[in-house]
Amino acid sequence: MNILWYKYDLRVTDHHPLVLANQSGPWAAIYIIEPMLWQEPDMSYRQYCFLASCLKDLDQQLRAIGQRLIIKVGEVEQVFSDLHQRYAISNVWAHEETKNSWTYSRDKKIRTWFKANHITFTECPHNGVVRRLKNRDGWAKQWYDQMYQPVIKRTDQSEAFTVHSDPIPLAEELNLQPDGIAVSLEGTRQKALQCLKSFLYQRGEHYTREMSSPVTAYTSCSRLSRYITYGVISMREVFHACTQRQQELNRLPPEHRGKWPNAMRSFASRLRWHCHFIQKLEDQPSIEYENMHRAYDTIRTMGEYPDRLQAWKNGQTGYPMIDACMRALIKEGWINFRMRAMLMSFASYHLWIDWRDSAPYLASLFVDYEPGIHYSQCQMQSGTTGINAIRIYNPIKQGIDQDPDGVFIRKWVKELSQAPSDEIHRPWEFENAYDYPAPIVDEKEARQHASKILYGMRKDQSHKAAAKEIVKKHASRKRPGRPKRPPKAKPSPQKEFEL
Ligand SMILES: Cc1cc2nc3c(=O)[nH]c(=O)nc-3n(C[C@H](O)[C@H](O)[C@H](O)COP(=O)(O)OP(=O)(O)OC[C@H]3O[C@@H](n4cnc5c(N)ncnc54)[C@H](O)[C@@H]3O)c2cc1C
C-alpha cells in the first residue's frame, strides 16, 4: 500500500507529494484527525470547522482524479500501525510540516516508527521553507527560486487503493465547543480562488493605505490567510497570480494603473514574510514556548495577572479600541495585522502579561492560526526577541488614527453605540454614564513602566551580545544573496492563471 498523507496542504493542484504518489501505482489519500491535538490550548472549534469544510472539498477534488479522501480518526502511530498490519505499507508521502510543538513531537515519533517498520517516508518541502537550513544567507533568493518554479498542474487520473474511511467527527465529538464565531467557515478551493481574484482585480487597489484600519481592512486586505494556512491554495499559486497581475498592470499606460502597482508590491512582500516567519520556527521550535532572548525570562511571570488576562480575553479592558478588536475577532475569526499587533502589545506592555499566557488564546481565535508567524509576532509585540524595535501601541491613539469616527468601535462595543465621536476613544473622561468598564490600567503609567524596563535591558552589554546571535540566526539578510528587488518575472507564454 502507498499513502499520500495530507496535512496542511489540502489541495490537488501544485502538490509535489501527490505527483510522487501518482508515479507509484495505486495509492490512498489519507487525512488523520488527531483528537489529542485538538485538545491543545491553541487549537479551537472555529479552526476545526474550517478544516472540516476543507476536507469535504478536498474529497471532491480528489474524486475528479479517481481518488477519494480517506479520513482516519485517532493517534497517528496507531492509524499507520493498523493500516500496516492490514495492507503492508511501502511508501508514505507528505509535505514537511512546521506547526506547533505537539505536531513537531508527533512527527519525530512517527519518523522513527516508519524507519523501524521499513516504510519509506518522503517529506517534500512546502512553501519555500527549508528544513535543516544552515544559515539565512541567500534564503530570500532560494525562496524566489522556489516561487518562480511552474505551478504543478498535473491532475492525471490515478488508481485508488480503497480503504475504509471514518466519517468526519462533529466538533463536539472532539470536545470542541462553539466559541462565539458568528460567520460561516467555508474552506473550499472555489472560495479561495474567488477571494484571490476579487483581491487582485477589485478589492485590493487601496490595500497599502487601507490595510491598517479595521474599518477598511476587512475588504481591502486579501483575506487569503486561512486558505494559505490550510494549503487550500499554495503560496506559489498566490505568488504566480500576483506576478501575472503585475505583468498585466505593466502593460497598461501608467495613468490607468491607479494605486495597483504599489498594492501588488506590498502584497508580494508579505507572501515572502509568511515563509520568512515560518522559517524562524522551523529553525528554532522553542520560539513557541521560550523567550527568543533569554534575558527576558526574568521580567514577566506566567500566571501573574489572571484578572487582567480575563478582561483582555473578554474585550472588557475599558479601552474601546482594544475591546472592539477583541470582540470583532471573537465573532469574525480574523482581524488585520495592525490590530493583532495592538492587541498583543497591549496585553504584554500595558497589562504586563507574559505572552505565553495570552498567545495561545489569541491563536485559538484566528481561523488562520499559523504557529510560525503567530509566536514570532507575539514575541515581537512583547519585546522578547531582543532585536526588533520596541513598539508600544497606544490604544487611544490607534483608535483615533484608525477609527476616527468611532464606526468600528460602535459596531462592536454596543455599550458605546450612542457615544459621540469626540467621546468614544476616552469615554471615562466624560460625564455620560456609559455602561462600560473603567480602564483596567492607566495607559500612560503602564506604558512608561514597560518602556523603562525594556529600554533599560537593551543597554546591557550581555543583552547586546545575545541579540547579535539572534540576528545572525533569524534576521532576513540585506546581503549577500537577497535581491534588492524581487527578480523580474519571466513572462509565461500563455496566461497561466484563469481566476
Ligand atoms: C500578534 C500577531 C499574530 C499573528 N498571527 C498570525 C497567524 O496565526 N497566521 C497568519 O497567517 N498571520 C498571522 N499574523 C500576520 C498577519 O496579521 C496576517 O497574516 C494577516 O492579517 C492575514 O490577513 P490577510 O490574508 O488579509 O493578509 P494580507 O495583508 O492580504 O497579506 C497576504 C498574506 O501575506 C501573509 N502575511 C501578511 N502579513 C504578514 C506578516 N506580518 N507576517 C507574516 N505573513 C504575513 C499572510 O499569509 C497573508 O495571508 C499575525 C500578526 C500578529 C501581529
CATH number, domain containing residue 94? 3.40.50.620
Q: How far apart are CA 51 and CA 74, in angstroms?
A: 16
CA 161 to centroid of ligand 1, rounded, Å: 38
Q: Does one domain contain both 366 and 239?
A: no
Q: Is any ligand 1 atom within 6 A of the Cβ of residue 340?
A: yes
CATH number at residue 345: 1.10.579.10
Helix, strand, coil shares of the chain, percent, nearest 5, are: 55, 5, 40
List Cβ neighbours of 443 (8 Å cut-off, separation of 6 or more): 319, 350, 394, 395, 396
Q: Does one domain contain both 232 and 299?
A: no
pLDDT at 407 over 80: yes
pLDDT at 491 over 50: no
Q: Does one domain contain both 375 and 397?
A: yes
CA 334 to centroid of ligand 1, rounded, Å: 10
- What atom in ligand 1 is closest to the CA of residue 225? 49
Q: How far apart are CA 42 and CA 366, in angstroms?
A: 9
User: Would you say residue 183 lies in a domain?
Assistant: no
- What atom in ligand 1 is closest to the CA of residue 224? 25
Q: How far apart are CA 303 and CA 382, in angstroms?
A: 16
pLDDT of residue 81: 98
Tell me the mean pLDDT in the region 191-218. 98
pLDDT at 499 over 60: no
Q: Is any ligand 1 atom within 6 A of the Cβ of residue 455?
A: no
Query: Which of 257, 280, 303 lies at the terminal end of a domain, its last residue?
Result: 280
Q: Does one domain contain both 449 and 324?
A: yes
User: Would you say residue 237 lies in a domain?
Assistant: yes
User: Would you say residue 144 lies in a domain?
Assistant: no
Q: Is any ligand 1 atom within 6 A of the Cβ of residue 229?
A: yes
3-state secondary structure 82-147: HHHHHHCCCEEEEECCCCCHHHHHHHHHHHHHHHHCCCEEEEECCCCCCCCCCCCCCHHHHHHHHH
CA 381 to centroid of ligand 1, rounded, Å: 14
Q: Per-residue confidence at 158, pLDDT binned at 50, 70, 90?
A: confident
CB 315 within 8 A of CB 189: no
Q: How many CB atoms lie within 10 A of CB 487?
A: 11
Q: Which residue range is the domain that position 227 belongs to?
A: 189-280
Q: Does one domain contain both 381 and 451?
A: yes
Lowest mean pLDDT among 332-336, 337-341, 466-470: 466-470
pLDDT of residue 476: 77
Q: Per-residue confidence at 156, pLDDT binned at 50, 70, 90?
A: confident
- CA-wise closest residue to 415 among 437, 443, 387, 384: 437
Q: Per-residue confidence at 494, pLDDT binned at 50, 70, 90?
A: very low
User: Would you say residue 484 lies in a domain?
Assistant: no
pLDDT at 148 over 80: yes
- Amino acid symbol at 144: Y
Higher pLDDT, residue 153 or 52: 52
Tell me the mean pLDDT in the region 331-336. 98
User: Would you say residue 131 lies in a domain?
Assistant: no
pLDDT of residue 496: 52
Burial of 395 (0-12, 13-18, 19+ CB in 10 A): buried
- Complete DSSP assignment for 51-85: HHHHHHHHHHHHHTTT--EEEEES-HHHHHHHHHH
Tell me the mean pLDDT in the region 194-217. 98
Q: Does one domain contain both 261 and 319?
A: no
CA 370 to centroid of ligand 1, rounded, Å: 9
User: Would you say residue 481 lies in a domain?
Assistant: no
Higher pLDDT, residue 482 or 446: 446
Tell me the mean pLDDT in the region 344-359. 98
Q: Does one domain contain both 109 and 94?
A: yes
pLDDT of residue 190: 98
Q: Is any ligand 1 atom within 6 A of the Cβ of residue 370?
A: yes
pLDDT of residue 481: 47
Lowest mean pLDDT among 109-123, 204-218, 379-393, 454-468: 454-468
Q: How far apart are CA 445 and CA 243, in angstroms?
A: 47
User: Would you say residue 148 lies in a domain?
Assistant: no
Tell me the mean pLDDT in the region 25-41. 97
Tell me the mean pLDDT in the region 39-66. 97
Q: Which residue has the cell 479552526?
A: 47
Q: Tell me the per-residue pLDDT of 160-172, one tens digit each, with 9 for 90 and over.
A: 998 999 999 999 9
Query: Which of 222, 253, 280 lies at the terminal end of a domain, its last residue?
Result: 280
What value does the mean pLDDT of the chain take?
Answer: 94
Q: Which three cell numbers, joined as nine digits, stand for 244?
A: 501575472
Phi, psi of 439 (to 5 degrees): -55, 135
Q: Is 4 helix (H, G, I), strand (E, B) or coil?
A: strand
CA 479 to centroid of ligand 1, rounded, Å: 25
Q: Is any ligand 1 atom within 6 A of the Cβ of residue 222?
A: yes
CB 321 within 8 A of CB 340: no
Q: How many CB atoms lie within 10 A of CB 340?
A: 21
Q: Does one domain contain both 211 and 338?
A: no
Q: Does one domain contain both 400 and 365?
A: yes
pLDDT of residue 480: 44
pLDDT at 479 over 70: no
User: Would you say residue 254 lies in a domain?
Assistant: yes
Q: Does one domain contain both 324 and 205?
A: no
pLDDT at 414 over 50: yes
Q: Does one domain contain both 274 and 291?
A: no
Q: At what angle do helices 461-474 and 443-458 cross, to 10 degrees?
A: 90
Q: Does one domain contain both 79 and 39?
A: yes
Torsional class of 285: left (φ above 0), alpha (ψ -120 to 50), beta (otherwise): alpha
CA 487 to centroid of ligand 1, rounded, Å: 23
pLDDT of residue 461: 86
Nearest CA owner, ligand 1 atom 49: 225
Query: Which of 126, 147, 177 lies at the terminal end of a domain, its last residue?
Result: 126
Q: Per-residue confidence at 424, pLDDT binned at 50, 70, 90?
A: very high
CB 403 within 8 A of CB 218: no
Task: Give the number of domains in the chain.
Answer: 3
pLDDT above 70: percentage of residues in the chain = 95
pLDDT of residue 465: 87
